[in-house]
Structure 1
Amino acid sequence: MNKTFRILKKAVLYTFSILLLLSVAGYVYLYVLPKGPEITATQKINNGIDSFVLYAYEGSERKSIKVWTYKPENWNDKDKIVFVMHGGGRNADDYLNAWVKLADSNNLLIVAPEFENKFSKYTTNDYQEGNLFTFFGTKNPKSEWAFTVVENIFDHIKSVNGITNEQYDIFGHSAGGQFVHRMVMLMPESRIGTAISANSGFYSLPDEKLEFPYGIKNTGIDLQKSYNKRLIILLGELDNDPSLGTFRTTDLAMEQGAHRLERGTNFFNANKELKNKNNWTFNWEIYTIKDVGHDYKKMSKSAIEWIKNEL
């Protein structure tokens, strides 16, 4: 009996030690070691497709991020700047290419950050959930939020290129749509003019009893300020097939709806109900694009209408 107990005790201690070692190693790799592409020399954005790499966090060299750009020949200071947020494939260059013709015909400077992560299939906290929390559930400082990185990129572009624009517009599709609607909710002080969240997989509902990212518990969100921002929830009429893309099927996600079209509608209605209850200003809108499914190229083309027509 004693021998069995000793063997069991050793097995438990051994297992615990291995798990602890793996956790420490994982934390060091994800949050301590410097990572990202090599920093590029500071220079002005060239016409056409271009890219640069800068440090993601202000005053820190721990993480770098690649930023793709497209600048039409006739673009000048004060013309529109649009951030384009990629989907779960982290394919910023593909999203940039989808906006090239749109940029030329509407004279837009396109900025597409690339939130590269080798483990993006297993972790989403660093991008579409805003990096509010680490993979292990501990809080990150606001200076390391993914939303703050967008603001840092905007400051960099303004400084290096002598741009005086006071705001930018932002479009995101799928995982990028998640990023955009959460950025509006969590950082209403950001310099976003028009935000377009297209075909998000799931949402952060305005429910203070639900843990983030399904709700807003312990996030400190001031929804009254969030509702002052212009947010367009853009849905594809045919985006009702959960087999397309990466579709979260946890119990809390499925409570939001059976597919993206339903989830987007329920998210908007939940926020509208809250604003009606409190009689708050509400600058959010919802639109459904006919004959379009989970397609970032077609949704990008549709988004131009709201980029061109500011309030």
Structure 2
Amino acid sequence: MNKTFSTLKKVILFTLSVFLILAITGYVYLYILPKGPEITEEDKIDTGNDSFVMYAYKESTRKSIRVWTYKPESWKDQDEIVFVMHGGGRNADDYLDAWTTIAEENNLLIVAPEFENKFSNYTTNDYQEGNLFTFFGSSNPESEWAYTVVENIFDHIKSTNNISNEHYDIFGHSAGGQFVHRMIILMPDNRIETAVAANAGFYTLPDENLEYPYGIKNTGISLEKDLKKSFKKKLIVLLGELDNDPSLGTFRTTELAMKQGAHRLERGTNFYQMNQQLTNRHNWTFNWEIDTVRSVGHNYRKMSENSISWIVE
């Protein structure tokens, strides 16, 4: 019996040691070692397709980010700037391609950040959940939130291109739709003029008893102070009429996610209605809108085309 107990004890200690080593190694790789593509020289954005690489954070050189752009020849200072946020595939260049014709037709400077991550199939905290928390659950400073990175990119573009714009618009589809609506909720002092969150997989609800990312518990966000400001922002919840098939794309099926609805169309509708009811109860300003695109499902190109009427209206 003693021999069996001793062997079991050794197995347990060995297993715990392996897990500890893996956890430390993973943390060092993800949050200590520098990562990202090589920084490019600061230069003005070229007409047509272009890209540059900058440091993601203003106070650290630990992470870099590639930013894809498209600028029509006729675009000039004070013309509209639109950030386009990719989906879970982290394919910013594809999203940029979907917006080139839209950009030419509406004279828009398109900015598509690429939140590259080799482990994006397993982690969502760094992008669509805003990087508020590490994969291991510890808090990140606001200076390293993914939403702050967007604001940093805007500052970089302004300074390197002599741009005087004070605001920008933003569109995101799927995981990008998650990113956009959470940025409105969690960073209400952003410089976004119009935000379009299209076909998000699930939402952060105005519930102080639900832990993030399902609610706002543990985020430091309050209903009275912060969400009240968020509701004053112009957010469009854009839904595809045919985005009612949970087998399309990556669809979260946890218990809390399923409580939001059986598919993206239902979840988006419930999210909008819950926030509308909250603002009605408190008699708060509510500048959010909901729009359903007919005969379109989980398609970022079609949703991009149908978002433009909200951005350039």
TM-score, normalized by the shorter chain, greater than 0.5? yes
Aligned CA-pair RMSD: 0.5
**Cα distance between partner residues in 2 of 1:32 and 1:203:** 30
Runs of 4+ in 1 over 6 A off after TM superposition: none
Give the equivalent residue in structure 2 for 1:125.
125
Which amino acid is the alignment partner of residue 108 of structure 1?
L
Q: Equivalent pairs: percent with the same residue?
A: 74
**Cα distance between partner residues in 2 of 1:207 and 1:190:** 22
Give the Å deviation of 1:4. Answer: 1.2
**Cα distance between partner residues in 2 of 1:27 and 1:220:** 24
Give the equivalent residue in structure 2 for 1:289.
293
Corresponding residue SS for 2:105 = helix
Which amino acid is the alignment partner of residue 294 of structure 1?
H
Give the equivalent residue in structure 2 for 1:64.
64
Corresponding residue SS for 2:134 = coil
Give the equivalent residue in structure 1 for 2:179.
179
Deviations 1:215-246 (A, max 9, x none): 11011221101101100000000000111110
**Cα distance between partner residues in 1 of 2:108 and 2:284:** 33
Deviations 1:116-145 (A, max 9, x none): 000000000000000000000110000000
**Cα distance between partner residues in 1 of 2:196 and 2:102:** 15
Deviations 1:63-87 (A, max 9, x none): 0000000000000000000000000
Give the equivalent residue in structure 2 for 1:193.
193
Which amino acid is the alignment partner of residue 120 of structure 2?
S
Deviations 1:226-285 (A, max 9, x none): 101100000000000111110001111111000000000000011111111111011101
Map 1:90-239 to 2 at 5 A.
Answer: 90-221=90-221, 222-239=226-243
**Cα distance between partner residues in 2 of 1:278 and 1:117:** 41
Which amino acid is the alignment partner of residue 271 of structure 2?
F
Residue 255 of structure 1 pairs with residue 259 of structure 2: yes
**Cα distance between partner residues in 1 of 2:234 and 2:210:** 25
Deviations 1:18-60 (A, max 9, x none): 0000000000000000000000011000000000000000021
Which amino acid is the alignment partner of residue 81 of structure 1?
I
**Cα distance between partner residues in 2 of 1:220 and 1:296:** 32
Which amino acid is the alignment partner of residue 14 of structure 2?
Y
What TM-score does the superposition give when structure 1 sets the normalisation length? 0.99
Deviations 1:121-170 (A, max 9, x none): 00000000000000001100000000000000000000000000000000
Which amino acid is the alignment partner of residue 28 of structure 1?
V
**Cα distance between partner residues in 2 of 1:59 and 1:203:** 30
Which amino acid is the alignment partner of residue 250 of structure 2?
T
Residue 242 of structure 1 pairs with residue 246 of structure 2: yes
What TM-score does the superposition give when structure 2 sets the normalisation length? 0.98
Q: Where does structure 1 lack aligned partners over 5 or more consecutive residues?
A: none
**Cα distance between partner residues in 1 of 2:12 and 2:2:** 15
Q: Which of 271, 275, 278 is equivalent to 1:271?
A: 275
Corresponding residue SS for 2:286 = coil
- Size of the alignment, in residue pairs? 309
**Cα distance between partner residues in 2 of 1:206 and 1:111:** 29
Deviations 1:178-202 (A, max 9, x none): 0000000000100000000000000
